[in-house]
Amino acid sequence: MNAEPAALTGRKPDWFRPPQDGKALVATRVSLSRNLGGIIFPPRASEMTLANVETLLRHRLEELGDPPFDAYFPLTSADSLAAALLRERLLLPPHVLSGPSRGVAVSPGETVSAAVNLLDHLTLVVMEAGFRPDRVWERADEIDDRLAGAVEFAFDDEFGFLTVSPEDVGTGLHIEFVAHLPALVLTSQTDKVVRALSEIGFRLLPLAEGGAGHLFRVRSARTFGPDEGETIADVLETAPVVENYELAARDSLSSPAKRIVFEDRVARAVALLDNARLMSASEALDALSLVGLGASFGLAPTGAADLLFRLYFDLLPAHLRLSAGRETDDTERKRLRADMVRRAWNGLAGPRPEE
């Protein structure tokens, strides 16, 4: 079951697809933080304790059968590059490094994962394409119940599930959705959305460093107080608000004052995709996002709308370095990225829009 993270390169997760109907919501993600009862939590546990926890949880995860975890990526010996690739695929939280008896079990298609001995003993994650919080929660809850029948979780009648971070105490549940918000970025309205979300207990986080590709995560922040049903209801209410902000921003790009600026930004992105010989990840992903949005205005080929989602993971730094299969310097990686983008861009079917 042990595997190397490099095996994930060249394929994208099943949950990562273009939004339906050209809108904004990409995927739904549920995470549950759990610790084992009567066992010291990871930050203060001995290496022997962590090893015993990893052995126990790996056995229990393998016994589940459904979802069929087909790979386990140990982080004990993983180098920083391999850990970075797992972070890029949302299989690890930001800033997690290798450590004793750490790892993550992953299902085919990466719709279910279970991280062992990170901040807590177990972090269960379920993801699906589109906006389906009820369905994703039901699947996570079913897996959680089966695990609870095999191990004892740390639980307090007053505080709920006990976790290392006070932010996770209670239900241990966080629900989030991934959204593509290029128009909000172009019209400089993301700060407004951040403020609005913070007032109702949500956070706006970049999917990749710096928000490359204009992809963001909208994450529920509260676990103590609201129960699972209330958290789901909050997400069901919040997602359409965020999507409507984005769609209104897209509509505003057609106004005379903004249209010429928008057309200029798309034209510059097209020129970059056509001609650049070196590209950083943020340059490539932002350009793909812009031409994808431009396609809905007739400013780029129709197929451009899907390019960001076809190439996203392949263009990220750790993915590119591992897929190269050899040592590369920064300039070589930028060249490889530009070549990959240009081939995909030039391969689009249909004529380019006329000047």
Q: Is the dihedral of CA 37, 41, 44, 50 positive or negative?
A: positive
| H-helix segments, 211-325 | 228-252, 256-275, 281-295, 304-315, 317-324
Nearest CA to 102 out of 92, 112, 89 is that of: 92
Amino acid, single-letter form, for residue 121: H
For residue 341, pLDDT beyond 90: yes
Least confident of 44-48, 223-227, 310-314, 333-337: 223-227
pLDDT band with cut points at 50, 70 and 90 for residue 352: low
Q: How far is CA 85 from CA 127, 148, 225, 353, in A?
A: 18, 30, 35, 36
**Domains (ranges, CATH) in the chain?**
5-251 (3.30.590.10), 256-346 (no CATH)
pLDDT single digits (tens) 104-153 = 999 999 999 999 999 999 999 999 999 999 999 999 999 999 999 999 99
Predicted pLDDT at 100? 83
Other CB atoms within a 10 A radius of the CB of residue 353 amount to: 15
Question: Which residue from 151, 124, 140 is spatially nearest to 59, judged by alpha carbons?
Answer: 151
Numbers of helices and strands, H then E, in the chain: 11, 10
Reported as half-sphere exposure (CB side, CA atoms, 13 A), residue 293 has a value of 31
Contacts of 34 (CB under 8 A, 6+ apart): 120, 121, 122, 123, 124, 144, 147, 153, 154, 161, 163, 172
Residues 11, 4: Cα–Cα separation, whole Å: 14
* Contact indicator for 68, 108 with CB cutoff of 8 Å: yes
Sign of CA dihedral 140, 142, 146, 149: positive
Which pLDDT does position 67 carry in this prediction? 66
pLDDT average, residue stretch 26-43: 97
pLDDT band of residue 79 (cuts 50, 70, 90) is: low
> What pTM does this model have?
0.92
Summarize pLDDT for 88-115 with one digit per residue, the tens.
999 998 877 777 899 999 999 999 999 9
